[in-house]
Structure 1
Amino acid sequence: MARIPRIMITGESTAYHVISRTALDGYVMGDVEKDFFVKLLKQKAKIYFTEILGFCVMGNHFHLLVRIIRDGDYTDTDIVDRYKTIYGKDAVLPEDRIDFYRDKWASLSEFVKEIKLGFSRFYNKRHGRRGFFWGDRFKSVVVENGNTLINCLAYIDLNPVRAGIVGRPEDYRWSSIGYHLQNATPDDFLSLDFGLRPFMKHSDEKRLAHYRAFLYETGAVDTGKGAQVDEKVLEKERKKEFKVTRAMRFKYRTRYFTDSGIIGTKVYVANTFQRFKDRYPAKREKIPKPVAGLSGMYSLKRLSEA
């Protein structure tokens, strides 16, 4: 049977749910692989004209909810700036190649292809193997904004709960909700849209609480497929009105006490790095990163990129 052509919408910003599975048996993506996948996703998202709405990296597949930004929302200067990000600030992009990169960096297929290819190379090198890593071509579904989008995002973030890996969605750090709560250094990688921005003129914090309410209430429903959020856990969240408390943020920051390389005040981290900088392969200076939720504390590594 012939393949059905992939549905791609041009001329307007469109959200897609992308799913791709490995070709290997078992759960072959461990912590290191999942960390690298997220790092790679962040790198490519800076180049391509995308808005990352959600993701989840599991042991044998990944989900991605991404909005491809319409053609009219970026200029020739945007193209050149991204080109220099890849090839260096002195790189010159010929004018007759601008349209090529404009099309490429607004392509869902090219975006996913680069992520999958980059990850395959990493995995094969790390495990001393050759050949295909991913199975059939990725699946993609066009997702309407609003109620449909938030339902799709919840479906993605609930994957680790349904699989019985965690009891709370945000306990899984290789997902969008886990990233929102466990990433101590705020950045612009992951959207705080939740499909609610056009309908809720509230702060990011309130939208996050609203999304967590939807996520927990949805996750507590017994679908007959996999596990669900425990009723006791749901009730505790209801009492807190699904707000992210300081105690919760501290809980997810504790990784910094074991994995951050150096932790302390900004001056201490900077000075200690200078003493041992020859041990780090990166040529550029490492700038201490503030650890959100731990007042006055900085770390050498941003753990989401470690």
Structure 2
Amino acid sequence: MSRRPRIKLDRPVTHYHVMTRTAQQAFYLSDNYVPGFKSQCRGIIESMADIFYVKILAWVLMDNHYHLCLEIRRPPLDPCDIQARYERLQEHLLTKRPWREAYTSRFYDRFTDLSKFMAEINARMARAFNKANGTSGHMWGGRFKSKVIENEQSLMRVMTYIEQNPVRAGLCECPSDYAWCSTGQYKRNIEARRPVSLPEVGFLRHIAKKDRAQSYVTWMDFQAVRILHPEKKVCLPRAMIASHCLRDETMTEWREDFNAKRPVDWRSQAYGSEEFHQHIRQVEEQRKLELARIRHKSHQRRHARLKKEISVCALCSAKGEERQVHTDISTIKN
């Protein structure tokens, strides 16, 4: 059975929710295997996002999986910028390939591709893990999961869901108490008076830049209280209320999922309205047909090549000559 096609929209800016689990759901990201490995993983994600046209909007590193909310941009093609990113990508290599002008279009497509980005960070994490742990082999359990996000409302919901992962796992009462998520990182940067850069999404664009990080932390902690302790009354700044606040029905649904420990349903590859879901399903069906045509043409070419080799073999045998044909003739269908 062929793999399900990955849905990637060709838009100037596209948002995705992605998740990757470790092999056999082992706690490879915990300190029990490699002390400080989560810090290495965060560094890899940030460095690769800087090389690719990717902005990390929210992230969380758990012991056996991680979530990312990404923004992938497709800016106008700039050969000088592509070359600079290409050179940064090769910094860790002992043997570096010199830049060629022919690489421009190829690496532009690579730096704006979700699958290439995830393959790069997962490969680097696996190499770092195996090197530190003195092992070899696979670290990840399979393909990463992804969903396309339709609009800003869905984006805020996804970011909130990602930040609540440690709360759902029972590791903390509030996301800001967990060190390995974006909310926890923002809180520590605020306490250390380090600069914090946040995306201008949802209610954040209505808040002054200097107060944006603290407002984000307050918002995420408030959502945790709504999930765990719905009876508590917590006041929020006016900028966070009204349309930016998640509906009570959503929080009830999350509480039910929290109590039942239900994961995200990855069968759907989209977040958003029913029309957007329908559009993504149509894109997926078109992609399946396209891949089927490619496989059919490949099979036809292989079939023709094998028939030609069999004909040559039969002709040589008729002339009493010997010829080795490296082909499994049994695969030919009459």
**TM-score, scaled relative to structure 1:** 0.66
Matched letter for residue 43 of structure 2: K
Structure 1 contact 150–194 (Cα < 8 Å) conserved = no
- Within the candidate set 67, 70, 79, 1:76 is matched to 79
Residues of 1 paired with 2:30 and 2:119: CA distance? 21
Residues of 2 paired with 1:211 and 1:185: CA distance? 16
Equivalent residues, number: 230
Superposition pairs of residues 175-186 of structure 1, within 5 angstroms? 175-183=181-189, 184=192, 186=194
Residues of 2 paired with 1:67 and 1:28: CA distance? 27
Matched letter for residue 21 of structure 2: R
Residues of 1 paired with 2:89 and 2:61: CA distance? 25
The structure having more radius of gyration, on CA atoms, is: 2
Query: What residue number does 1:147 align with?
Result: 153
Runs of 4+ residues over 4 Å off in structure 1: 184-188, 229-232, 239-243
Residues of 2 paired with 1:69 and 1:179: CA distance? 24
Superposition pairs of residues 277-292 of structure 1, within 5 angstroms? none
> Once the 2 structures are TM-superposed, how far is the Cα of residue 117 of structure 1 from its aligned partner?
0.4
Matched letter for residue 104 of structure 2: I
- Within the candidate set 48, 71, 82, 1:67 is matched to 71
Matched letter for residue 207 of structure 2: H
Query: What residue number does 2:274 align with?
Result: none
Query: What residue number does 1:301 align with?
Result: none
> Once the 2 structures are TM-superposed, how far is the Cα of residue 203 of structure 1 from its aligned partner?
2.2
> Once the 2 structures are TM-superposed, how far is the Cα of residue 200 of structure 1 from its aligned partner?
3.0
Alpha-carbon deviations, 1:172-194, whole Å to 9, x = none?
12111112122347467xx5126
> Once the 2 structures are TM-superposed, how far is the Cα of residue 210 of structure 1 from its aligned partner?
4.2
Q: Quick check: 1:52 aligned with 2:41?
A: no
Structure 1 vs Structure 2 CA RMSD = 3.0
Residues of 2 paired with 1:7 and 1:182: CA distance? 36
**Structure having the larger proportion of residues in helix:** 2
Residues of 1 paired with 2:53 and 2:194: CA distance? 20
Change (3 A) 1:145 1:193: farther
Query: What residue number does 2:246 align with?
Result: none
Structure 1 contact 24–133 (Cα < 8 Å) conserved = no
Residues of 1 paired with 2:210 and 2:161: CA distance? 21
Matched letter for residue 133 of structure 2: H
Q: Quick check: 1:129 aligned with 2:118?
A: no
> Once the 2 structures are TM-superposed, how far is the Cα of residue 156 of structure 1 from its aligned partner?
0.4
> Once the 2 structures are TM-superposed, how far is the Cα of residue 25 of structure 1 from its aligned partner?
4.6
Superposition pairs of residues 77-92 of structure 1, within 5 angstroms? 77-87=80-90
> Once the 2 structures are TM-superposed, how far is the Cα of residue 13 of structure 1 from its aligned partner?
0.7
Change (3 A) 1:97 1:25: closer
Query: What residue number does 1:34 align with?
Result: 38
- Within the candidate set 210, 220, 226, 1:221 is matched to 226
Query: What residue number does 2:309 align with?
Result: none
Structure 1 contact 124–130 (Cα < 8 Å) conserved = yes
> Once the 2 structures are TM-superposed, how far is the Cα of residue 168 of structure 1 from its aligned partner?
1.9
For residue 28 of structure 2, give the secondary structure of its aligned residue in structure 1.
coil
Which residues of structure 2 form unaligned runs of 5+?
241-334
Query: What residue number does 2:255 align with?
Result: none
Q: Quick check: 1:120 aligned with 2:126?
A: yes
Alpha-carbon deviations, 1:10-56, whole Å to 9, x = none?
13210100001000454221241111100101110110001110110
Which residues of structure 1 form unaligned runs of 5+?
223-227, 244-306
What fraction of aligned residue pairs are identical, expressed as a percent? 32
Residues of 1 paired with 2:151 and 2:193: CA distance? 28
Alpha-carbon deviations, 1:224-261, whole Å to 9, x = none?
xxxx36977x74xx489999xxxxxxxxxxxxxxxxxx
Change (3 A) 1:24 1:217: same
Structure 1 contact 220–230 (Cα < 8 Å) conserved = yes
